Structure formats: structure tokens, C-alpha cells
């Protein structure tokens, strides 16, 4: 496993790999890796000749009041976790990614106005911009994204299609803690008591899924109210940003549940903003 810190060096490595016909599987991360990330890396290893993991806490995707400074970082631990899985770990510096005079931004409209887009203005603009840059540097054949960040996955899938990137955007299943909480680097913000209470999120979303798939409830409002009632029973819940039921491709709220949908939650337990979702098959 080789650690690469320069953009130019990473591009040369990728260009050389492409020239000899190697497929590149890419897992972009913000580091502080957990089993969710590692499942993406393992999948990338299975499906490609070479695996590149990037670690970059992207300042562009954090709002001014968000947790960029406190976001957990542990490069040494990350590198140890990747040792037998990745061929290259790309760790660029912010000042090389966004040098003085940097001015170019990519936005996926429509898909970014709903859900987290309503609560984190500029977030997805920061995500698409950095991911496009990383794609241009790493030149992957396939790029792997966890479905915990469902909206992010759909936005990047759309960007890759719209910009003719010839990169396969591969969604991967959510990896959960034993209590059901979706794994996230931000889970370290939770106290032990808060962590225990977060099990309610996945339970509530799963109950919503059951209401639709098995009880044939078709009114999203009925399902959402039930989920909200369950989650609100948690004492350490500070705030719900949203509970929404949307169409999987356009991410627009549905009036009536008649085809596959996704139920998504975002909210705060203690100081941790948590997101989760379940896909509903019909």
C-alpha cells in the first residue's frame, strides 16, 4: 500500500494504470474509517484490479456553523485499517485542492433542493465539486458510495451521468452497529447513553417500511407520523431535521405510495447529526 499526497503523483499513477488496462476501484472518504468504509473498500477490491481510497476532510462541504474543525481525524489508525485492502491511499492537502484563486464549482440542481439540501445550504455543491476533482485525479473505473448518504449517492450518480464521466457509481448497503445505528464517523460524538437510544432510528424506519410493505398503508403522512412518534420517544433526541418519503431517483416527496420509495431521517441526538434511511420495495 502506497500513500500518495501529491495530486500530480496520483494522476501519474492513475494514467499509468489506465495505459496498461487496469481497472481502478475508488472509495472517496473523509477518513476516521469504520466498517462501513471498509465494506466499500472490500467490494472495490473484489471488482477491480487496483483499489484507491482517498482521505480528505473537504472544507467546502461544511457550512460555517458545522463541524469541520471538530470532525474526527486519525490518519495513522486509518492507514492501519487499509493496510491489506488498498493499493493506494490518496491524502491531498486542502491548499493543493483549493489553491489561491480557486473558482470552479459543480452543482447538481433539482436533486439537491430537498432533504439534507434544505438544511445544509452549499453542502452538495461542496460534495460534487470535490468528488469531480477526485474523479479527475484518480480516474476510477468504478466509485463506491454507501447508501447511508442516500441523497449524496443519487446526486453523484446524476453528476456522473450528466457530465459523461464514464464512471460506474456503485451504491453499497448500509453497515450498522449491533443496535441498528448506521455507522458514521460522527457517531463518536455520542455519549454511551445517547448511542443506546439511537437504536430507535432504524427501528422506527423499519416499522415504517413494514407499514407500507405489509400493512399496505399508502398515505405517506400516516407512515411519517408513526415514525416521528416513535423517534420522539427518545430522550436524547434534540431535533428532527426531517422524516420524508421520496421517489428514489428524483428525491421528490410522494403524495401517495404506489411504487418503490425511500424513507429518510435526519436529526440530532446530543451533538451528533445523524442520518439514516430504508428502501421500500413495492
Binding-site ranges for a second copy (CB under 8 A): 7, 11, 18-19, 21, 101-111, 128, 132-133, 136-137, 158-159, 162-166, 249-250
Query: Which residue, 3 or 161, has its beta carbon nearer to a second copy?
Result: 161
CB of 161 to a second copy, least distance (A): 8
CB of 110 to a second copy, least distance (A): 5
Q: Contact, 136 vs 110, CB < 8 A?
A: no
DSSP state letters, 123-166: HHHHHHHHHHHHHHHH--SEEEEEGGGHHHHHHHHHHHHHTT--
| Cα–Cα dist 177/163, whole Å | 36
115 — alpha (psi -120 to 50), left (phi > 0) or beta? Answer: left
Q: Contact, 243 vs 264, CB < 8 A?
A: yes
* Catalytic positions: 37
List, in order, residues 6 or more apart from 112 with CB less than 8 Å away. Answer: 124, 125, 151, 155
CB of 79 to a second copy, least distance (A): 24
Query: Which residue, 135 or 269, has its beta carbon nearer to a second copy?
Result: 135
Phi, psi at residue 20, to the nearest 5°? -95, 15
Query: Which residue, 20 or 216, has its beta carbon nearer to a second copy?
Result: 20
CB of 128 to a second copy, least distance (A): 8
Query: Which residue, 210 or 247, has its beta carbon nearer to a second copy?
Result: 247
CB of 89 to a second copy, least distance (A): 18
101 — alpha (psi -120 to 50), left (phi > 0) or beta? Answer: left
Query: Which residue, 157 or 194, has its beta carbon nearer to a second copy?
Result: 157
Do β-strands 261-269 and 237-246 pair in parallel, antiparallel, or remain unpaired? antiparallel
CB of 27 to a second copy, least distance (A): 18
Query: Which residue, 26 or 202, has its beta carbon nearer to a second copy?
Result: 26
Of the candidates 2, 45, 19, which has an alpha carbon nearest to the alpha carbon of residue 139?
19
Containing 25, the helix (H) or strand (E) segment is strand 24-29
| Cα–Cα dist 124/109, whole Å | 10
Amino acid at each position: 500500500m502506497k500513500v500518495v499526497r501529491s495530486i500530480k503523483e496520483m494522476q501519474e499513477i492513475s494514467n499509468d494504470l489506465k495505459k496498461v488496462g487496469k481497472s481502478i476501484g475508488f472509495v472517496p472518504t473523509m477518513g476516521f474509517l469504520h466498517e462501513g468504509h471498509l465494506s466499500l473498500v472490500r467490494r472495490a477490491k473484489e471488482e477491480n484490479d487496483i483499489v484507491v481510497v482517498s482521505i480528505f476532510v473537504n472544507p467546502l462541504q461544511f457550512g460555517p456553523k458545522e463541524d469541520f474543525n471538530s470532525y474526527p481525524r486519525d490518519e495513522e489508525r486509518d492507514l492501519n485499517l487499509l493496510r491489506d485492502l488498498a493499493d493506494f491511499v490518496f491524502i491531498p492537502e486542502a491548499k493543493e485542492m483549493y489553491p489561491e484563486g480557486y473558482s470552479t464549482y459543480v452543482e447538481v440542481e433539482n436533486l439537491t433542493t430537498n432533504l439534507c439540501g434544505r438544511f445544509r445550504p452549499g453542502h452538495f455543491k461542496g460534495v460534487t465539486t470535490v468528488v469531480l476533482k477526485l474523479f479527475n485525479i484518480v480516474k476510477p473505473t468504478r466509485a463506491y458510495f454507501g447508501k447511508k448518504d442516500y441523497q449524496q449517492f443519487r446526486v453523484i450518480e446524476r453528476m456522473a451521468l450528466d457530465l459523461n464521466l464514464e464512471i460506474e457509481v456503485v451504491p453499497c448497503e448500509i453497515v450498522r452497529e449491533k443496535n441498528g445505528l448506521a455507522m458514521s464517523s460522527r457517531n463518536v460524538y455520542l455519549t454511551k447513553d445517547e448511542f443506546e437510544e439511537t437504536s430507535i432510528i432504524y427501528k422506527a424506519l423499519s416499522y415504517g417500511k413494514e407499514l407500507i410493505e405489509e400493512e399496505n398503508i399508502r398515505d405517506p403522512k400516516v407512515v411519517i407520523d408513526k415514525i416521528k412518534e416513535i423517534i420522539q420517544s427518545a430522550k436524547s433526541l434534540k431535533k428532527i431535521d426531517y422524516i420524508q418519503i421520496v421517489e428514489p431517483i428524483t428525491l421528490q416527496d410522494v403524495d401517495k405510495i404506489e411504487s418503490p420509495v425511500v424513507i429518510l431521517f435526519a436529526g440530532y441526538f446530543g451533538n451528533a447529526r445523524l442520518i439514516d434511511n430504508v428502501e421500500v420495495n413495492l
